[in-house]
Amino acid sequence: DTAVSQTPKYLVTQMGNDKSIKCEQNLGHDTMYWYKQDSKKFLKIMFSYNNKELIINETVPNRFSPKSPDKAHLNLHINSLELGDSAVYFCASSRTVKYEKLFFGSGTQLSVL
């Protein structure tokens, strides 16, 4: 069983479109995250939710909107996609918010044309 699963694995779309990436964890964790990895492999946090509540919101354009319907799911919706949004997006989860090991999904490679 995959612990943190995200879909789709690849997403190719045109500029200006709206797209969503879904993430689910079956570990019973309270906290979920979205990280972005750019073309130079640099990883940076975007958002974090604890029990459906937003706790970290980095300086991310408001075209990016996370949604957590329950603590096992954290979806990422992106409006009006831009070329610079092309990256690999990783979902992750941890048991609680403090100092816990993060379990990562396998990533979604987003290509905006």
Partner 1 sequence: AQKVTQAQTEISVVEKEDVTLDCVYETRDTTYYLFWYKQPPSGELVFLIRRNSFDEQNEISGRYSWNFQKSTSSFNFTITASQVVDSAVYFCALLLNTDKLIFGTGTRLQVFP
Interface with partner 1 by CB under 8 A: which residues?
31, 33, 35, 40-45, 48, 55-56, 58, 88, 90, 92, 97-99, 101-107, 109
**Residue 58 φ/ψ region, left for φ over 0, alpha for ψ in the -120 to 50 degree band, beta for the rest:** beta
Q: Can you tell me the distance from the alpha carbon of 7 to that of 112, in angstroms, rounded to the nearest whole number?
A: 17
Both tokens assigned to 41:
């492999």
Please, which residue, 18 or 38, has the CB nearer to partner 1?
Answer: 38
Please, which residue, 8 or 16, has the CB nearer to partner 1?
Answer: 8
* Closest CB 113 distance from partner 1, rounded Å: 20
**Residues pairing with 33 in the sheet:** 48, 92
Please, which residue, 55 or 113, has the CB nearer to partner 1?
Answer: 55
Q: Can you tell me the distance from the alpha carbon of 26 to that of 28, in angstroms, rounded to the nearest whole number?
A: 6
* Closest CB 106 distance from partner 1, rounded Å: 4
* Closest CB 87 distance from partner 1, rounded Å: 12
Please, which residue, 3 or 15, has the CB nearer to partner 1?
Answer: 3
Cβ distance 18 to 78 under 8 Å? yes
